[in-house]
Amino acid sequence: MENFMELLLQPLRDFGITILQFVPNLLAMLIIFIAGFLFSRLIKLLFLRIFRIINLDIWCDKAGLTAIIRKGDVWSKPSDVFGGIIYWFLIILFLVIGLSALRLPTIDNLIAQFFLYIPRAFSALVILIAGYVFAGFISRAVLITAVNSGYHYAKILAEAVRLLLIVLILAMSLEQLQIAPGIVIAAFSIVFGGIILALAIAFGIGGIDAAKRIINAGEPEQPEQPKQNNEKKNDKEREAEYL
């Protein structure tokens, strides 16, 4: 009977011990959460002040970053947007650190993966921003060149170049983030390859005469053929047609 009671009580005792061991971890997690929340708010306020001092909003307006933010239908000030990003990044960071205080192996694995992913996310962000600016620059250059050359569809051409570059940049960013890399690369190859093929076919069909002229212009001049035979032939053909 005593053994039976022991069998019943032992799991409860073990559970109690586990709870007792877990409570400090839980408390540590809660403290980290609260401290993290307060710290994140403080850092956000600090950054907002710094942004105000360095006139970040005006800089963003002039650099065209505000226009990019607005394209996403975000209508807060750029400094508020960046402040918000910093705030939520810190909140997630402290959430992860707080969860690690629980010392659960599954969560520890997730946290390790999260920290490994941060550099990838950062590089994807850099690719996106730099790529967007680069695409704008190239598109502008194409527009100016095409307009100066008197090309009628200059704006459409510039927008097409810009779209192509943005597709390329998005593919690079997604590949960097390791979001279905196989599909992204395959989709990009198909789309980009398709566009280039379409352009090549279009140029081939539309520019066949131009290409002929270019090729002929590069060829050395042919020695003059005796024309008599041809002329005779032509005369005969004309006679035949006349008859």
Partner 1 sequence: MADFYQNDLIITLHRLGNPGLERIESELMEFTRQRPVALVLPALVTEFEGEAIKGIVAELKKVRYLREIILSLGRANDKEFQYVREFMSQLPCEVKVIHNEGKRIKEIYATLERNNVWPGEDGKGRSAWISYGYVIANAQSDVIALHDCDIVTYNRGMLARLCYPVANPNIDVVFCKGFYSRITDKMHGRVTRLLITPLIRALQKIVGPNPFLMFMDSFRYPLAGEFAMITDMARTNRIPWDWGLEVGVLSEVFRNYSTRRVCQVDIADNYEHKHQLLSADDAQKGLMRMSVDICKSIFRFLAAEGIVLSDSFFKSLQVAYIRLAEDTMVKYEADAAINGLKFDRHAEASAAEAFSNAIKIASDTYSENPMAAPLIPNWNRVTSAIPGILDMLKKAVDEDNR
CA-based nearest residue to 156, from 168, 165, 147, 148: 147
- CA–CA separation, 110 and 206 (whole Å): 56
**Per rule CB under 8 A, count of chain residues that contact partner 1:** 14
Q: Which one of the spans 19-27, 65-73, 110-118, 189-197 is the region binding partner 1 (CB under 8 A)?
A: 65-73
Distance in Å, CB of 89 to partner 1, minimum: 24
Which H or E run contains 125? Answer: helix 105-148
| Cβ-based neighbours of 61, under 8 Å, separated by 6 or more | 78
Nearer Cβ to partner 1 (139/176): 139
- CA–CA separation, 46 and 83 (whole Å): 9
Cα end-to-end distance, the chain, whole Å: 130
Q: Which of 30, 46, 58, 185 binds partner 1 (CB under 8 A)?
A: 58
Distance in Å, CB of 57 to partner 1, minimum: 6
Q: Which of 13, 41, 49, 62 binds partner 1 (CB under 8 A)?
A: 62
Q: Which one of the spans 36-44, 74-82, 143-151, 184-192 is the region binding partner 1 (CB under 8 A)?
A: 74-82
For residue 179, the SS3 value is: coil
Q: Which of 34, 67, 141, 185 binds partner 1 (CB under 8 A)?
A: 67
